[in-house]
Every structure is written in C-alpha cells, then in structure tokens.
Structure 1
Amino acid sequence: MAAFPIPVTVLTGFLGAGKTTLLNRLLKDPALADTAVIINEYGDVAIDHLLVEQASDGIIQLSDGCLCCTVRGELVDTLADLVDRLQTGRIERLARVVIETTGLADPAPVMQSIMGHPVLVQAFRLDGVVTLVDAVNGAANLDVHVEALKQAAVADRLVLTKTDIADEKTVDALKARLHDINPGARVLEVQDANVADLFDCGLYNPATKSADVRRWLGEAEAHADHDHHDHDDHHHDHDGHDGHGGHGHDHHHHDERVKTHSLVHDGPVAYAAIEMFLDLLRSAHGDRLLRMKGVIELREDPSRPLVIHGVQRLLHPPARLPAWPDDRRGTRLVLITLDMPGDYVARLFSALTDRPAVDTPDRAALENNPLAIAGR
C-alpha cells in the first residue's frame, strides 16, 4: 500500500530540454520501482515502449494537449483514480508520482491541481519541481519565452542538459544566470543528476528523518542563512542586482521580471496578521506570485512552527509541525514573483511585522494599514 500523503514530483522544462531522456534513465533505478508516471503525450512517444509494457499499471498517458490547461481536469481525475486503485488493491504499492509536463507548460496549474483539490491534498503532497534547461538553447528560451522563465523560477532543482555539446563559457554563464533567477534552487548537470539529487525536495528530509527548514526554503543554495542587519533584517530581494551593475547580466532584462524575496523576522507574529498578509498579497497580485514557502513562529503558540506553501492565489492548507526542528525560530518567508510592482512585498511584510523598511517612503500609509494594526 502507500503511506499518505504520496510525494509528487513535477518534471518540466522547455521544448527539447530532454525531459523524456532523463525520465527513462531515472525509471531504471530500483529506487523508483513503485512510481506512477503521468505523462503528456505530445508528438513523439514519451516513454520507452519496454517500460510501458513492464509497468502498465504504473504509467498513465494523458490525451494530446497541454497537461496544465487542456487536460487539467483529466490530471485531477487520473490522480483520484490512482488513489482509488490503490485503496481497492488494483495497485499493490505506490511510493511516488512523477508528472511530466509539455515543453510549453506553465507548471503552476499542475502544482495547483495537487495542492488545491480538497480530496487530493489529503492523498498527495508536492515534493518538488524539477526543471530541465537546455544548455545550448536555454539562454535564448529565457530571453524570448516567459514560460521558460517561469519554469526556471519555480524549480526546486535545475538540471542542465546538453552540456556535452555546449562550450564551457556558455554553460558557466547559464548557471550564473539561473542562480540569479532562482537563487534557492540547486543547479546540476544532467550527467550528475540521480534519484537522490532530484527527489525528496520537500520539508521532510528522509536522510535526517526530520523537518529540514533551511534546505526546504533553499537557504543553503542562496547562502541566505546569515544574520540580517538594518534594512536586511526585514527583507532581502534577489533581483539580479547588487547596486553596482548587478552580476554581469544586465542585458537580461527579461530576467528582471522575476524576483526572489527572502523575508526574515526574528520574533513571533500574530496569526491574524499572517492571514491578512496572505489575503492582501493574493487578492492584489496573486497571479504574479509564482511560489511561496514559509515557516512562521506564531505569537499565540510559539512552541510549534506554522508551515505555509502557496502557488499564485492558491494556498496549501497551513500545517503545524510538532516542534521546531532546530534552535532557529522566527518567521522566514521565500516568495518568487513575476512582474510584482516595486517594493510591494517588502512594504507589506514591514506592515506585518510592524517594523517598516528603511526605504519605505510612506510611513503614514503603513501605520493606517489594518495589517499593521493586526500585527501589533
């Protein structure tokens, strides 16, 4: 049988990135023996015929079209059917689900299908998003296609393919650019990527058998686990700039549409303030919020952290951990946004903590904000 909730991995990447090639290689690993694979048949045969024959109950091929829009309802039905087949014994074991999207897909609707369905959220949990990036054409795709930019921005793992036919300078530049877009994601080359590297990206770390907040928030990759002072005590935006010309990628104006906001507050906050922060953020600019993760120390009960995880306007049901996994408490939020206006997130977070950012031009507006009052 299965231990609910079952982890789900979304495998995405732009056209020609090599998703199917990697998936076929990974499926030969015994660690994925009890994995169901949901693929979006789009043109060429997606999975080796041999694997289909060997695991006919574990591989579900959806109809032609974009998985995350034209057959989104079918994805929900397919996941629900997996649970039914497992509970009725038609599937003996199910340890994991992998969903491969098309190259033109925005992964957000797929993530929402997993996180937002009232029944499926009890049976499945989003383990992580693995995005493949073609080392030869990746830079051009990021320049032209917003879908490619979104795929890179929401990833927990970024995998570079075709590095064997791309020159070293191009590969290094693409790695640096991807880190600017998504500083919290681990970047790997496909020949080095294995099951252990790409799966188990969630809050629970099977290696330590405990919650790993720093790893889940991507702080280890972003080098964000340091003491913040003054303005940075409230927030820090990774937008590809350092105030002195950036990281050498100023010509990638397309990338500047994506920002990663690492928001830190050392003390507890009121639950009402958190609710209002999330409601205001999602109602005003929910479509621009690509992904959000957070661990929060609540004023009402600081002994157990509150964990939140959202995609655009959809928020996974908040959960409480039984205890803090380490000595570090406080509130930490990581938000990835697209075309978010100005310092909106920083201002809103300042109101949440009742500690305005240094560069906030309108202190009076924040003082009159009901969120600031709720947070006191």
Structure 2
Amino acid sequence: MNPHPIPVSVLTGFLGAGKTTLLNRLLKDPALADTAVIINEFGDVAIDHLLVENSSDGIIQLADGCLCCTVRGDLVDTLADLVDRLQTGRLAALKRVIVETTGLADPAPVLQSIMGHPALVQAYRLDGVIALVDAVNGDATLDNHVEAVKQVAVADRIVLAKTDLIAGPVAVTSLRNRLRGINPSAPIIDARDPEAGYAALFDCGLYDPSTKTVDVRRWLGEEAEHPHPHEHGHDHHDHDHHRHDARIKTFTLVYDRPVPFSTIEMFLDLLRSAHGDKLLRMKGVIELAEDPSRPLVVHGVQTLLHPPARLPAWPDDVRGTRLVLITLDMPEDYVRRMFSAFTNTPSIDTPDRAAVERNPLAIAGMR
C-alpha cells in the first residue's frame, strides 16, 4: 500500500453551473501547484480545455463522450498514466488530481472508477466531491434532471454559483433549504465568498497522510453526529413539484458496541446485492470486536465497496459503528430492520439474526 496516496477531487455540477469558471479561479491558488486536471468533453467539438487558463500537460483532454460511460476506460488509463509518468520521472511532481465531469454525468460511475480499480486504489484516494449548483436555474434543473439531484446528494461540498443574479435573498434561502434537504451534511458555500478557495473545498477526506490528521466527524458529516429525518425543514416544500428530491434520503445507522467483522461484512454484502443500485454513496466507521482499538473505515458507491482500511487509533471518544447512507428510492425501513437483525437490536417485525444467517436472501424481500 502507498503510504501517501494522491488525493483525487471530483468537480461536478449540471450544464452551465460554472465549473470551468471556478476551476480557473482555483488553479491560481499556489496550494494547487502540481495539480493535474482531467477535463471531460461532451459533444463533437472539444472546447472546454480551451476555457481553462494556462493549458499545459497538467490539463488532460479526454476523448469525446460522457465520462461516466463511454470514456470510463480512458479515465482509468489516464490516472494510471499519471502514476507511470511520476514514477519514471516524466512528471516532476503530482500532489493532487481534479476530475471535472461533464454536466450530464451521473457521478456514481466516476467515483467507482477511482475507488474500484485494484491498481488505482494503491496510488489514489478519493478526497471528495465538489458539486456546483447554478442559483438562477437550480430549482428548475433539480426538478427536471435526476442527475443533478444525484450530484448534490453525493457531494462533500456544495458550491452555489451566480447568487448575484437572483433578485432578493428569499430565493437564495429557498434554494439553500432545498439543497440541505437533499444533502444535510455537506457545507453550502457561496462561490462569490472570498473564502471559497482551497481550504474550504479540498482536503475533505477522512485521512490526510501528509498531516497524519483524522477528522471522522467532518468526513461523515454532522448527519452522523446529529441524525435527523430527511424531511427536516421540508414542511413548506411541495414534494410533488420537487419530485426528484423526495427520492433521495440520507440516514445514519448507529450501533454503540463492537461488532464482529463477519457480521458487518455479511450486512454490507446483502445490502449491496439487494439494493446496491440504489445506494448512491456510503461512509462508515466501525468498531470491530476483533480489535476495538483501531476503527475500520468503509466507503462505497452502489455495488462497489472500497477496500476497507484501518485507522491507527480512534480520533475521539465516540466509539461504535456509524454508517451514513445516501440513497435513491431505497426503503429505509428495510435497511434499518436488516441492520437490527445483524446487530441483535430490537426492531419491529425483524427476524432473528440466526434466521438471517440460515437464509440471508429471505430478508431481501422485506419492505
């Protein structure tokens, strides 16, 4: 394992949200020196790379097509080539990679490419997802495009652009409340804020090898520390109008005692096999019965689970298991009852764990 994996940040957002404008500004920051930027193209004529100032070898042009489908192989090859260039001296330094997706991209396959390739996970770590939202067209985009809702839902940071073009603060507040409903744990940052730079948008991962710091609370988000229903703050919203929002849920599974590795492994395997396509993103910290002194870290996208890692020690006094799930059309009650079955905690209509172990697929039909 590489003790210093290169952080990869995914910059996403629907068409016209302002990704290139933000990227241009960020690249002027000395903190982003030695950063490679991979820019996706969509259409017959590739022009986005011309809009990024100081285009050089650090700006990598991918082939025509959507990053999340036809050029996924190119993304993997490009990331592998960067490592090869670094190891052979053709690239002097590489401290970070930024992948700017096309506005039409479902971000899940992009994350899968970074987290799931057996060679890439040795060289890279997913630092975080930054999602841009156009304040002028944000509501309409979220209403009409489920991809935009997914982009917001999986984000670690949400950047609100073009707020100066909206008349009055009420509209901005309404959009902010809607974004918080979709993703309660991600900070919402105004793109015009002078503080909306490197420090606010990057280094949002669990573990930074360069500083040896661990911030579980920041990585899991406040949702893990202060769980609340997804509908919080939504009484004034029209869920028929915001039809995609109602399909997204973020909830936390908490268990305050150590669990055997086999238990958590079986639970995650069953969850992915039964409803993996509805699991947009998952983050978790687990206290294992085999070694309670070192937390196990898991995170995944849909059916893909990143290889679990062990932290050297607990960063705070909060032990136990905390799993944060961001889902699309996944029955929360089913997940909670299944988790209760595996952890032997009371839940209405939950079969005992022994029955689940004898026939684990039987619980997959629960609704």
TM-score (norm 1): 0.88
What does residue 354 of structure 1 align with? 344
* Amino acid across the alignment from 2:277: D
* Amino acid across the alignment from 1:10: V
Provide Cα deviations, 1:111-139, integer angstroms capped at 9, x if missing partner: 10111000010000100000000111111
Local SS of the residue matching 2:192? helix
Q: What is the CA distance between 1:241 and its match in structure 2?
A: 4.7
What does residue 110 of structure 1 align with? 110
The answer on whether the counterparts of 2:20 and 2:51 sit within 8 Å (CA) in structure 1 is: no
The answer on whether the counterparts of 2:72 and 2:110 sit within 8 Å (CA) in structure 1 is: yes
Alignment size in residue pairs: 352
The answer on whether the counterparts of 1:308 and 1:316 sit within 8 Å (CA) in structure 2 is: yes
What does residue 200 of structure 1 align with? 203
Q: What is the CA distance between 1:237 and its match in structure 2?
A: 6.1
Are 1:14 and 2:14 an aligned pair? yes
Provide Cα deviations, 1:310-351, integer angstroms capped at 9, x if missing partner: 000000000011111111111101000000025111112111
* Amino acid across the alignment from 1:369: V
What does residue 356 of structure 2 align with? 369
What does residue 249 of structure 1 align with? 237
What does residue 268 of structure 1 align with? 258
Provide Cα deviations, 1:348-370, integer angstroms capped at 9, x if missing partner: 2111221133xx2x234666222
Deviating above 6 A after TM superposition, structure 1's stretches of 4 or more consecutive aligned residues are none
Provide the rounded CA distance (Å) in 1 between the counterparts of 2:310 and 2:17: 38
The answer on whether the counterparts of 1:205 and 1:212 sit within 8 Å (CA) in structure 2 is: no
The answer on whether the counterparts of 2:4 and 2:210 sit within 8 Å (CA) in structure 1 is: no
Provide the rounded CA distance (Å) in 1 between the counterparts of 2:332 and 2:81: 44
Change (3 A) 1:277 1:371: farther
Are 1:320 and 2:310 an aligned pair? yes
Provide the rounded CA distance (Å) in 2 between the counterparts of 1:139 and 1:261: 23
Q: What is the CA distance between 1:371 and its match in structure 2?
A: 8.7
Q: After the TM superposition, which of the residue ranges 41-50 and 296-305 deviates more from structure 2?
A: 41-50
* Amino acid across the alignment from 1:11: L
Aligned residue runs from structure 1 range 256-295, under 5 A: 256-295=246-285
* Amino acid across the alignment from 1:153: A
Local SS of the residue matching 1:329? coil
The answer on whether the counterparts of 1:180 and 1:238 sit within 8 Å (CA) in structure 2 is: no
Change (3 A) 1:44 1:77: closer
Change (3 A) 1:3 1:299: closer
The answer on whether the counterparts of 2:247 and 2:328 sit within 8 Å (CA) in structure 1 is: yes
* Amino acid across the alignment from 2:126: L
Aligned residue runs from structure 1 range 51-90, under 5 A: 51-53=53-55, 56-90=56-90
* Amino acid across the alignment from 2:205: G
Unpaired stretches in structure 2, ≥5 consecutive residues: 361-367
Q: After the TM superposition, which of the residue ranges 89-98 and 247-256 deviates more from structure 2?
A: 247-256
Provide the rounded CA distance (Å) in 2 between the counterparts of 1:237 and 1:348: 20
Provide the rounded CA distance (Å) in 2 between the counterparts of 1:372 and 1:166: 56
Provide the rounded CA distance (Å) in 1 between the counterparts of 2:244 and 2:214: 35
CA RMSD of aligned residues (A): 2.2
Local SS of the residue matching 2:318? coil
Local SS of the residue matching 2:252? strand
TM-score (norm 2): 0.91
The answer on whether the counterparts of 1:24 and 1:47 sit within 8 Å (CA) in structure 2 is: no
Change (3 A) 1:164 1:342: same
Change (3 A) 1:372 1:331: farther
The answer on whether the counterparts of 1:152 and 1:181 sit within 8 Å (CA) in structure 2 is: yes
Aligned residue runs from structure 1 range 18-29, under 5 A: 18-29=18-29
What does residue 40 of structure 2 align with? 40
Q: What is the percent sequence identity of the aligned residues? A: 69
Tell me which of 189, 213, 217 is aligned to 1:214. 217
